Structure 1
Amino acid sequence: MNISKYLDVSEEVSLAINENRPVVALESTIISHGMPYPQNVETALNTEQIIRKNGAVPATIAIIGGKLKAGLSHDEIEYLGKKGLEVTKASRRDLPFLLANGEDGATTVATTMIIAALAGIQVFCTGGIGGVHRGAEITMDISADLEELSMTPVMVVCAGAKSILDLGLTLEYLETKGVPVIGYQTEELPAFYTRKSGFKVDYRIDTPEMLAKVFHAKTETGLQGGMLVTNPIPEKFAMDYDVINNAIDAAIKEAAQHGVHGKDTTPFLLAKIKELTGGDSLVSNIQLVYNNARLASNIAIELSKLK
């Protein structure tokens, strides 16, 4: 396997990995597809700064010019932010084509996990994972994020599965694939914009130290796949459960009317929900990412002590 031909790890990230210092991976779809410019760039840079303040090294991940990049420069983040929806939203199936053609791609949870693992990064912070979409029994619309979690040894820190999904079926899928779902200081699965969903996680863990120990035990024993840590959005930024679910139902109905499907579904729904909530959902989205960055940094620090 000649991965060095395609993988480009920044000097800062490479040095941190070699010195066993804590590193936290970040996705880039949130930059290109998650929110408008310039808020996307501001959020990405702020998230990196939060990780640094908490004692870890940030590694924003993307595909640029046919290279798998782990650790973007400010200019590269700005480039993705301005290019926005023109950048390919890249999942596992897209990687060979982007690499062969020297193209750009913004990484989803799945592709961020792949590149993080190739670079030697074990902790990844994101907003929310993809999952089983509502109506998947007809459409078979299931995010590649779930399959990647079953295969790739990366701990994913998120605010739960996006509440636009069928959360019950998402949990069932993860159970079938042997992926543990952990609630950080909670027994209930958070649902992205809200702290409650009505569904229970597999395990509750209350400290970053114990989260690191559990993941370390998993990797030391050679068990395949990753681990999902769900971290509830801070109470002050959480949205009202009924308000957000009414907005989601309306957005899903409109998506069906317009024939939106596949990887266009999530960006369409998030944009529509932002419109229906008067922008409140975007504020919540940004704050939950910052909250996850703090926790991921603390886990990465504890994990580095165990190596």
Structure 2
Amino acid sequence: MIMVTGATGTVGRLVVARMPTSTAVRALVRRPDRLITLRPDVEVVQGDYADDDSLLRALQGVRRALLITGAVGGGEDERFLRAARRAGTEHVVKLSAAAVLDRSADDAVTRWQRDTEQLLRSSDLAWTLLRPRSFMSNTLAWAPGIRSEGVVRGLYGTSANACVDPRDIADVAVRALTESGHDGRAYTLTGPGPVTAVEQTRELGRAIGRRLEFVELTPDQTRAALLRRHSEPVVEALLASARRQKCGAKAGTDPMLAKLLGRAATPFTTWAVDHAPLFANGSEGTTKPRARP
């Protein structure tokens, strides 16, 4: 049995959908009614990182698990790993972030990610770390402004990021969960090349057949907007991340994803075309981006 946590999230739901039909899959969710899947063979279980008993029940019979957490400093990884050891789980694949490798990154989110990686590495469990760069799907936060005004507002529009398609991350996760040879490995996952917010805006405009405008925000404007959605430590972490990106810290690419999948990483142009309906007028589809320095 393989468990996928965060099964209603950006990567988790894709992993559930991409798992081989011959594999027994269990999806752990807080709200089962929010899980949309075309896989009737997937077992859906309710569980909460704050409820040790629910985690232990959900992990019974699970051999491998994908661990996705998001509460910075909330102890979710520690409680999950404790329950996994008690349940006899053998291998945990953890979704982390590429920023952990950047020595100049010392914000609250990156420190938390490093700490949670160390928790897993020091456990008695076999482990695999997935360290993606920013998700291409983070641009879905722009969808309301694109639909209503044809405008994208953002910070440092000409700074580049080798962002990655979440579908590619999910494909790597499936391999790590279903194949041998991934124990004790850490994989940095990037897109095929760096892209700026201005370039992403242009590609989205082409995908929907509409001229879009990028409007540069100041750091203070960006902070005010982020504070409406995130706590202050997370906001400061995201701003620090943006400054590192401006200095070129996120422009580098890594060949690992292509080696693992046997194909090139998906370019942003393809992601934009595939998701164009979410940005077009009349679309109601939105996805909350995950904070990921």
In terms of fraction of residues, the more helix-rich structure is 1
The two structures have a TM-score, normalised by structure 2, of: 0.35
The two structures have a TM-score, normalised by structure 1, of: 0.34
Please say which structure displays the higher CA radius of gyration: 2
